[in-house]
Amino acid sequence: MSKRKIVTIVIILLILVFAVFITLNYLKIDIFKGNTAQQSQGGPSGQGGSRNATTVRITPVSSGTIEQSVIVNGEILARNQVTIYPTVGGKLSESFITIGNRVNRGDRIAMIDPSRPGENFSPSPVISTVSGTVLQAPFHVGDTLTTQSGIFVVGDLSSLLVETYVPERFVASVRRGMRAVLWFEAIGGEKFNAEVTEISPVLDPVSRTLRIRLSFLNYDQRIRAGMFATISLVTNRKTNIPVIARTSVINTYGSWIVFAIDEKNIARRREVTLGIDNEELVEILSGVELGDKVVSAGQNFLSDGDLVRVVE
């Protein structure tokens, strides 16, 4: 075969390869256009090319009450609880009462012998300064006492109070008339209401706490002096304010947002201003209004403008 024929065959082969390349590219463009058109028209699945709706739960913005509280421990005391001291030091020679006995003001309740070795004095009586029930009797006959020894504690059990100490950071919120809820381990799950009636004018310099006393609003005979109480003290309370579930709000870059759902089930991002809150609810100052439907579950997967599916 001559050199000219070989050149001719090579040229023909190159032309054929080029023609095949052009044809394949043309077909690829045609197919791509067809797929694009099919997707824009809804495609075979009929989903319109949009992302699936996000399943959420909604809660309307409603008018409610929010209470903020602090949990402290307290002790039940007799309202008029008085410690009785002897007027002289010496040996407790006689005791006429014991815990649980009822005494009246002016009753002789014990005798103190002030005698020392080589001396002989007449016993000195201990007189009750109040009427009530004996709550404590820490000494026994034969014990040596001083004028600083509290021989008996007498209190009026017909009227009990609650004494507790509030941490310094809550002191500014404490005021007379504040409500509290109490419960006792000894009385199961029942709760009792009380209110603040007495506030110390100064803080304890060691514990940095404020002593307060509360009176029962629904006293029960099962409550006794000396019992240990758990107290939920309401430090702030607002009524008839717009509230939503605390789980509805999201903190993003220092701002609080919620997702409100419109009539077309589209999620709309709203920046809100919050007021007081507790473990369940939060006050809304601005951003949404009463009656707006706010996402309370599923909002972490939402973006502004997403379609949602609401479930109960």
Structure tokens at 117: 């070795």
Q: What is the pLDDT of residue 1?
A: 58
- Which among 271, 276, 266, 277 has a CA at the least distance from the CA of 307? 266
What is the dihedral sign for C-alpha 17, 18, 23, 28?
positive
4-51 confidence digits (pLDDT tens): 777 677 778 778 777 776 776 655 545 444 444 444 444 443 343 445
Going by pLDDT thresholds of 50, 70 and 90, the confidence category of residue 278 is: confident
Beta strands at 228-245 and 250-252: parallel, antiparallel or unpaired: unpaired
Q: What is the pLDDT of residue 68?
A: 81
Percent of the chain scoring above 70 in pLDDT: 89
202-252 confidence digits (pLDDT tens): 999 999 999 999 999 887 888 888 899 999 988 888 889 999 988 899 988
Spell out the CATH class of 69-77+157-236: mainly beta
- Which among 243, 257, 178, 242 has a CA at the least distance from the CA of 210? 178
Q: What is the pLDDT of residue 51?
A: 59
Which stretches of 22-130 are assigned E, i.e. beta strand? 54-60, 62-78, 82-84, 90-95, 102-103, 108-113, 124-127
- Domain extent listing, the chain: 1-49, 54-66+239-310, 69-77+157-236, 81-155
- Which among 135, 79, 82, 130 has a CA at the least distance from the CA of 103? 130
CATH number of 81-155: 2.40.50.100
Neighbours of 107 (CB within 10 A): 17
b (16+ CB within 10 A) / e for 249-276: bbeeeeebbbbbbeeeeebebbebebeb
Looking up tokens 């021989």 gives 151
- Who wins on pLDDT, 124 or 28? 124
3-state secondary structure of 296: strand
Print the SS3 string covering 163-191.
Answer: EEEEEHHHHHHCCCCCEEEEECHHHCCCE
The mean of the pLDDT values for the chain is 85
- Which among 114, 181, 108 has a CA at the least distance from the CA of 146? 114
Percent of the chain scoring above 90 in pLDDT: 43
User: DSSP alpha helices (H): ranges in 1-84?
Assistant: 3-40
Choose the CATH number for 54-66+239-310 among 3.50.50.60, 3.40.50.12780, 3.30.360.10, 2.40.420.20: 2.40.420.20
User: Mean pLDDT over residues 55-71, rounded?
Assistant: 88
Cβ within 8 Å of residue 138, ≥6 positions away: 150, 151
User: Mean pLDDT over residues 103-119, rounded?
Assistant: 92
User: Mean pLDDT over residues 44-66, rounded?
Assistant: 72
Q: What is the pLDDT of residue 103?
A: 93
146-196 confidence digits (pLDDT tens): 999 999 999 888 788 999 999 998 888 899 988 899 999 888 878 999 999
Structure tokens at 145: 């006492």
Q: What is the pLDDT of residue 28?
A: 54
Q: What is the model's pTM?
A: 0.55
